[in-house]
Amino acid sequence: MRLPVVSSTFAAALAVTFVASAQDRPNASPSHADHQAMHSTPHEMHAAGPTVSFSQLKATVDQLDRARAATEKYRDVGAARDDGYEAIGPYVIGMGYHYVRSRQPDRGFDIEHPPILLYQKDTTAAGGLQLVGVSYLFNAPAGPDGQPVGSPFPPALAKWHKHGNLCVMPDRSVETRLDDQECARRGGRFSAETQWMVHAWIWKDSPAGVFSPLNPSVW
In contact, 181 and 190? CB cutoff 8 Å: no
CA distance 208 to 189: 33
Q: Is 56 exposed, middle or buried (0-12, 13-18, 19+ CB in 10 A)?
A: middle
Which pLDDT does position 105 carry in this prediction? 65
* Percent of the chain predicted with pLDDT > 70: 76
Which pLDDT does position 45 carry in this prediction? 52
Which pLDDT does position 172 carry in this prediction? 81
Low-confidence winner among 40-44, 93-97, 204-208 (lowest mean pLDDT): 40-44
Residue-wise pLDDT for 15-39, tens only, equals 222 223 333 334 444 444 444 443 4
In contact, 135 and 118? CB cutoff 8 Å: yes
Where residue 11 falls among pLDDT bands split at 50, 70, 90? very low
Question: What angle is formed at CA 18 by the lines to CA 16 and CA 21, rounded to 5 degrees?
Answer: 105
Which pLDDT does position 76 carry in this prediction? 97
Look at 215 and 32; give whichever has higher pLDDT: 215
* Torsion sign, CA atoms 178, 180, 181, 184: positive
| Residue 1 clears pLDDT 50, i.e. is over it | no
Specify the 3-state DSSP secondary structure of 117. Answer: strand
DSSP state of 133: E
How many Å is the Cα radius of gyration of the chain?
Answer: 23
| Residue 203 clears pLDDT 80, i.e. is over it | yes
Residue-wise pLDDT for 112-152, tens only, equals 999 999 999 999 999 999 999 999 999 999 999 999 999 99
Which pLDDT does position 179 carry in this prediction? 93
Mean pLDDT of 190-204: 94
Which pLDDT does position 48 carry in this prediction? 63
Low-confidence winner among 3-12, 27-36, 74-83, 102-111 (lowest mean pLDDT): 3-12
Q: What global pTM score does this model have?
A: 0.74
| Residue 100 clears pLDDT 90, i.e. is over it | yes
Which pLDDT does position 103 carry in this prediction? 72
Across-strand partners of 85? 101
CA distance 155 to 164: 22
